[in-house]
């Protein structure tokens, strides 16, 4: 986790419920940080059995409003960050002959773009994490139906 101090509730829950979870400081945007954190975890606990890639950031706005650096930052964290972590744990998993990597995308890819995107993006921002996860788990039919119901827009492409 990039800033464990910003998520004290997670640490509290793991202690109260005696969960075998270690919260480590790691910035997935940094090769050095990922290598150091994974090395420390392996040194302390032994080989990793599971990696959960769930780091993610997003930028809100239409394509023409956002700078290219915004898109690069999203890709650095959401895509290259996951690859960095996989590269750090896979050699050990291959040696031990077992392991599991779970990808949990933090950002959805159904975003509309353009000047009319703001109501949708504000609506997304108002959701709780649980609502966002449920929304992200919707199949295409549910997703398009909800967009039509909530916004009166048929977002299906007309290919």
64 & 114 share domain:
no
Q: What is the pLDDT of residue 117?
A: 65
Whether this prediction's pTM lies above 0.85 is answered by: no
Domain boundary, last residue among 92, 107, 122: 107
93 & 124 share domain:
no
10 & 59 share domain:
yes
Quote the domain boundaries for residue 87. 1-107
Q: Which CATH number covers residue 4? A: 3.40.50.720
121 & 95 share domain:
no
Number of domains in the chain: 2
32 & 69 share domain:
yes
Express as a percent the part of the chain with pLDDT over 70. 89
94 & 116 share domain:
no
CA dist., res. 155 & res. 80, Å (int) = 29
Number of alpha carbons in the 13 Å side-chain half-sphere of residue 110: 18
44 & 77 share domain:
yes
102 & 120 share domain:
no
User: For tokens 């769930």, what's the residue?
Assistant: 54
Q: What is the pLDDT of residue 38?
A: 95
35-86 tens-digit pLDDT: 999 999 999 988 888 888 888 887 777 777 788 998 899 889 988 999 999 9
Q: Measuring CA to CA, which residue among 13, 62, 20, 64 is closest to residue 44?
A: 20
- Whether pLDDT at 154 is above 80: no
């Amino acid at each position: 986790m990039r800033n464990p101090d910003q998520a004290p509730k997670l640490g509290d829950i793991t202690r109260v419920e005696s969960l075998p979870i270690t919260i480590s400081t790691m910035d997935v945007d940094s090769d050095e940080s990922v290598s150091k954190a994974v090395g420390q975890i392996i040194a302390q606990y032994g080989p990793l059995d599971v990696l959960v890639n769930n780091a993610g950031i997003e930028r809100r706005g239409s394509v023409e409003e956002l700078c290219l650096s915004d898109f690069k930052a999203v890709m650095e964290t959401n895509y290259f960050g996951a690859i960095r972590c996989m590269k750090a744990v896979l050699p050990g998993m291959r040696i031990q002959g077992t392991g599991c990597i779970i990808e949990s995308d933090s950002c959805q890819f159904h975003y509309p773009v353009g000047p009319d995107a703001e109501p949708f993006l504000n609506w997304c921002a108002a959701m709780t994490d649980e609502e966002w996860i449920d929304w992200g788990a919707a199949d295409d039919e549910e997703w398009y139906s909800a967009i039509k119901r909530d916004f009166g827009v048929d977002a299906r492409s007309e290919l």
